[in-house]
Structures are given as structure tokens and as C-alpha cells.
Chain A
Amino acid sequence: MAMIQFENVSVNYGAPSHPVLSNIDLKIEEGEFVCLLGQTGCGKSTLLRLVLGSERPVAGRVLIAGIEHNQPDPTCGYVPQKYSLFPDKTVMGNITFGPEVSEFNLFTRLTPRYFRQRREFRQQAMQYIRRIGLQDADARKYPDQLSGGMQQRVAIAQALVNRPRILLLDEAFSALDPGTRRDMQVLIRQLWRGTGVTLLFVTHNTHEAVQMGTRVIVLARETPNHGSRVAMDLAIPSSCPADEVSRLAARLDSAAGSTREPEEFTSGIGDSGAHDLAAARNLLPNEI
């Protein structure tokens, strides 16, 4: 059974004459790393929100492990591009938020068991903080005291700490500088291999998609009045040399229209980035 299944899904915004997605039929298996590509406004984030359950289709249905999914729940971890962390909580508070609210409601949080358990949550969070490359002292910092890259690292740890079956990243790296972006790509690859989570990654960057994913899906509109459909669904070989990456990226570019990002972004995954990613692709599972 597929982990995520779209059955003839359509989504409209506003008037019915302006569809965003039309008749999407897709199956994503457990443990896949799927990159979603497409031009701005083609419905990549909408597709992600359908999986998340925060958006409902006007037609068709979205199944998660065979069950229809209508509202956000801990099945899916979510890392948006902006507002990924709670600004009022420290790094520690952000990471322990999930385990705390999953096990304790507003009233049971007043019991001694909660205070005992909280110590465990904090120890577990500290392990995550170290694994995502942050220092112990960063645990007490608020999100606005962290750089963009560090914030996204914490957001990923926050999403993974509850061990979701699916992790959704919505242009999570698009605001990062090329160097940080490369580090994050490596980190995500490592975490994906370590956890075996099914990963859906929305990006504008074809090189990034090819280098990171095991499969790339391109969404594109046939005409401006039609909703987007799957224009290309490409499996990426596990070993992908740099020239092959460029060739696949070019194919994906043409399928999506021009989705290529400005040079300053793509350069973040240039030769050295490709090398790091290639190494990350072949890393041994790192249990986290």
C-alpha cells in the first residue's frame, strides 16, 4: 500500500474557473524522497497542504497509508519556508513542544508525572540539538537569536522528534545562503536515510531536486486556464554523477517551463555541493 496516494485530485481557488490542480493521480511509496518541482503558482505548496490535511480537494481524495486525510495531525511533520518555529519558545521549548502536547493536555501538565517526563523530553531534545549541529548553549536561545540556517535545522529537529511517517518541507531552504543551503541538503539526506521517513520536498531548484531526491515530480499547467498536472515523474538513480545531474536537470527544466533559479542559488549546489551530497547519498543509516 502506498504511503501517500492522490486519487484524481483537483483543487480550485476562488472561482471554479481558476483551478490550481487538475486530476492529480500519484502514488508515493514509504521511504521515498520525492522532490516537487514547478513554476511559482503551479500548486506545489497546495499539493503539500493536501498531504498535510490543511487543504481539501474539490474532487478526488488524498489517502495516507490507505486512510483519507482531512486535517493536520502528527502523521506528517511540516517545515514551512517561514514561521517554522514558535517565536515565544526557546530552541529547547520548540523541540520539546511536540512530545509534551502529544502526551500531556492542559490539565495533566499540572501533575508530577509531567515534571518527571519533562526531564526525559529535554534529554531527548538535547540529543537532537547536538545531532543537527547546534551547541548546548543554543538550547536557551529564542528563534530570533538564531541564523536562518540554524532556525531551519531546529525546525527539522522539531518536526522529526515526534517520529512522523511523512516529512513535508515547503521551500524550507529557499531563504538560505548557498553555503548554508548546501549544509542543510546534506543534513536532510542524512536524516532521511537515518529515519526512513517518507519525504516530500518542494523546491524551485532543479539541481537541488535531482541531487537530493530519489524521485522528482514536476507540476505544470498545459494552459493558463487549466490546473496543473504531473508533467514529469522521474526516478533518480542512486548514483548520479555531476554530468547526469545536469542532463536530468535540463530535462526537468524543460518539463516545468523555466524553473531554474538565479545563479547565486544554484551555485550553492555546484561542484563542491554535488560532492557533499554525493557523500551524503551514500552515508550509512544514522539512527536519530
Chain B
Amino acid sequence: MRGGFQLVHAKPSRSATALLSWFLFVLGIGLYVNAAQKRHQENAEDRVVPTIPHMLHSTYDAAFKPAEDDESTIGDNANLPQRFLASMLWKDTKASARRFLYSLLLLIPAVFLGLHMGLFPYVGLFFSRFVLFFDKIIALSLLPILFIAFGIDELSKIMLIVIGVTPTIILDTFNLTRSVPQEQVVKAFTLGAGDFDVAYRVILRQIAPRVLNSIRLNLKAVMLFLFAGEMIASTDGLAYRIALLRRHMGMDVIIPYVLWVALLLFLVDVAMRLINRKLHPWFREA
């Protein structure tokens, strides 16, 4: 028999948990500051690795100074929230968020399609092979076709997200529906339920927290397709701004923008977790 300490059963203390979980953040910031200092010692005009004060200054400009086309509407004595609402960062965030929300709304029919495919054999037979094939198409390869078919307006960008993410959501919902024990379906029928009671009052309610989780885990994919669309053809949005600033080597704004997007996604993720827990108190994640 082998003795000794088993790493698998280690129980980190509170301080160890805090130290370990923040260590890589601190290390990353430290390395960045060091690299920025070195480059600025060699070249004071370096734009590739801007210093932290430089980035903070640019972030302030992006977040609290009016966007170019908004200078007329905001006075000099406007307060901070008013200035934020007239800023470039807010306008870009609003534009991207609108597209993001439209895309999320368009995922709802995908959930219903997956549910019906999983529950009703004829619907499943009708759609499953097609959706499986569609899932294998690389959405970004459709981008030129989408621009030709839908123009370079909002629709093509939203369609890109929908085409990129909906097959995954449909197939996830389909599999979740199929994983509900048959006993539950039979039981519901013995209690007098009809087909649609079983679909919406038994299956949908049981899979809803897992579907929400699936959507939550696909948020990054949604953002990926959104950014691809905005970078190629857009006049506003977070990715448009990043692509625009790339031409001017505007790393002092690009890095805060990237961190802002990550923060927003993180907040959406946290909000969805909380909503899921609130809506489905019975659900315990495995």
C-alpha cells in the first residue's frame, strides 16, 4: 500500500485560495508594466506597448469625452454619466450590444426547434440530418455570401451570428430533450398531459437550466462572430473601433477595449448564472 500525501485530496486554505487565484493576474500585469517601461526607455514614443498611465488617459478620453459626431449635443458642464452616455465607448458598446441581443433573441426559435426535434420523431427526422450538416459549415466562410445576399448592413452580421451559433444550440437542445428519462414522458401522459403539455410543461421546464447554460457557454462564440462581422463591415461597434484603431497603432485604446469586452462578457455570464439559479432553484449543476 502506498502512503504519503494525496494531492487530489488537498484542501487549500483561504489565503492560499486568494493567492493562487489572483497570482496569474498580478504576474501578467507585472510583466506588462515591466515590458512597457523597458520599451519606453528605448523609445519614448512607443505605441506598441503603451504604459498604464497612457492607457488610463486614453480610456478616460474614450469613456468620458464626447464621440466625434456628438460634440454639439453635450456641454462642458455635463456630469460624468451624461458624458459617458455621449462617449465613443458607450456608442460602440450600445451598437455591439444591440446586435448581440438580437442574436440572442434569434436563438429562442433554435431552442424550440431542438425541443420539438428531440420530442417528436417526425420533426426530428425532418430536421436532424440537415442541422447536422449545417453545423459543419464554417460560418465565417459564408461571410462573403452573406454580404452579397444581405448587404453590409445589420442583417448580414446578425445572420452570421445566427448561422454560426444556432446549429449548436439546436443540437444541444435536441440532445438535452432526448436525455430526459422516458419514464417522465410516460408518467406525464398517464397524468392526462397532451403532447404540448409534455413538451412545454415537462421537458422544456426540465431542460431550461441546461439550455441556458449551453447558451451561456456559447456567448463567446456569439461575440466571435459579432466581432468578425463588425471588423469587416461596420461603421460602429466595439470590434469596428478596434479594427479602426489597429490602422493607427492605437494600442492605448485597443487594450482597454479588449478588457472592456471581456468584462462585459464576464458580467453577462455572471448575470445569466444568477438568473438561472433564481429561475430554477431546483437545479443543481453536476
A87 and B206 form a contact (CB under 8 A): yes
Q: What is the bound-complex CA distance between A144 and B183, given in angstroms? A: 17
Q: For chain B residues 142-183, which have a beta carbon within 8 Å of chain A?
A: 181-183
B200 and A144 form a contact (CB under 8 A): no
A106 to chain B: which residues have CB within 8 Å?
A: 196-197, 200-201
A101 and B188 form a contact (CB under 8 A): yes
Given known contacts A87-B206, A88-B205, A106-B197, A82 and B181 CB-to-CB distance under 8 angstroms = yes
Given known contacts A87-B206, A142-B282, A52 and B192 CB-to-CB distance under 8 angstroms = no
In the complex, how many angstroms separate the beta carbon of B194 from the nearest chain A beta carbon?
Answer: 7
Q: What is the bound-complex CA distance between A162 and B192, given in angstroms? A: 8
Q: What is the bound-complex CA distance between A74 and B189, given in angstroms? A: 7
Asked if B8 is an interface residue, CB under 8 A from chain A, the answer is: no
A105 and B197 form a contact (CB under 8 A): yes
Q: Of the candidates B190, B206, B208, B282, which one forms a contact with A78 in the assembled complex, judged by CB atoms under 8 Å apart?
A: B190
Given known contacts A54-B186, A84-B183, A88-B205, A162 and B191 CB-to-CB distance under 8 angstroms = yes
Which of B192, B196, B208 counts the most chain A CB atoms within 10 A?
B192
Asked if B261 is an interface residue, CB under 8 A from chain A, the answer is: no
Asked if B202 is an interface residue, CB under 8 A from chain A, the answer is: yes
B280 to chain A: which residues have CB within 8 Å?
A: 88
Residues of A in contact, count (CB < 8 Å): 31
Q: What is the bound-complex CA distance between A99 and B192, given in angstroms? A: 8
Asked if A83 is an interface residue, CB under 8 A from chain B, the answer is: yes
Given known contacts A78-B187, A82-B181, A142 and B281 CB-to-CB distance under 8 angstroms = yes
Which of A72, A82, A144 counts the most chain B CB atoms within 10 A?
A72
Q: Of the candidates A89, A105, A143, A159, which one forms a contact with B190 in the assembled complex, judged by CB atoms under 8 Å apart?
A: A159
Asked if A114 is an interface residue, CB under 8 A from chain B, the answer is: no
Asked if A40 is an interface residue, CB under 8 A from chain B, the answer is: no
B196 and A86 form a contact (CB under 8 A): no
B192 to chain A: which residues have CB within 8 Å?
A: 73-74, 98-99, 101-102, 162
Chain B facing A: main interface SS: helix
Asked if B184 is an interface residue, CB under 8 A from chain A, the answer is: yes
B193 to chain A: which residues have CB within 8 Å?
A: 97, 101
Chain B, interface size category, equals 20 to 34
Q: What is the bound-complex CA distance between A101 and B188, given in angstroms? A: 9
A78 to chain B: which residues have CB within 8 Å?
A: 183, 186-187, 190
Chain A facing B: main interface SS: loop
Given known contacts A106-B200, A142-B281, A142-B282, A71 and B183 CB-to-CB distance under 8 angstroms = no
Given known contacts A82-B181, A105-B194, A105-B197, A87 and B282 CB-to-CB distance under 8 angstroms = yes
A86 to chain B: which residues have CB within 8 Å?
A: 184, 187-188, 202, 205-206
A74 and B282 form a contact (CB under 8 A): no
- Per-position contact with B for A66-84: 1 when CB-CB < 8 Å, else 0? 0000011110111010111
In the complex, how many angstroms separate the beta carbon of A116 from the nearest chain B beta carbon?
Answer: 19
In the complex, how many angstroms separate the beta carbon of A85 from the nearest chain B beta carbon?
Answer: 8
Asked if A270 is an interface residue, CB under 8 A from chain B, the answer is: no
Q: What is the bound-complex CA distance between A74 and B194, given in angstroms? A: 11
In the complex, how many angstroms separate the beta carbon of B266 from the nearest chain A beta carbon?
Answer: 28
- Per-position contact with B for A51-74: 1 when CB-CB < 8 Å, else 0? 010100000000000000001111
Given known contacts A87-B282, A106-B196, A144-B282, A74 and B187 CB-to-CB distance under 8 angstroms = no
In the complex, how many angstroms separate the beta carbon of B199 from the nearest chain A beta carbon?
Answer: 9
- Per-position contact with A for B247-286: 1 when CB-CB < 8 Å, else 0? 0000000000000000000000000000000001111100
Asked if A178 is an interface residue, CB under 8 A from chain B, the answer is: no
Q: What is the bound-complex CA distance between A82 and B184, given in angstroms? A: 9
B191 and A88 form a contact (CB under 8 A): no
Residue of B at shortest CB range from A168? Answer: B190
Residue of B at shortest CB range from A99? Answer: B192
Q: What is the bound-complex CA distance between A94 and B201, given in angstroms? A: 11
In the complex, how many angstroms separate the beta carbon of B183 from the nearest chain A beta carbon?
Answer: 4
B284 and A144 form a contact (CB under 8 A): yes
5 A-B pairs with C-beta separation under 8 A: A54-B186, A83-B184, A84-B187, A88-B205, A105-B196
Task: Report, nearest first, the 4 A-B pairs whose CB atoms are least far apart.
Answer: A102-B192, A98-B191, A72-B189, A83-B181
Known: A74-B191, A106-B196. 18 other contacts (CB 8 A): A54-B186, A71-B189, A73-B190, A78-B186, A82-B183, A86-B184, A88-B205, A88-B282, A88-B283, A97-B191, A98-B192, A101-B194, A101-B197, A102-B192, A106-B201, A142-B282, A144-B284, A162-B191
Interface residues of A (CB under 8 A from B): 52, 54, 71-74, 76-78, 80, 82-84, 86-89, 97-99, 101-102, 105-106, 142-144, 158-159, 162, 164
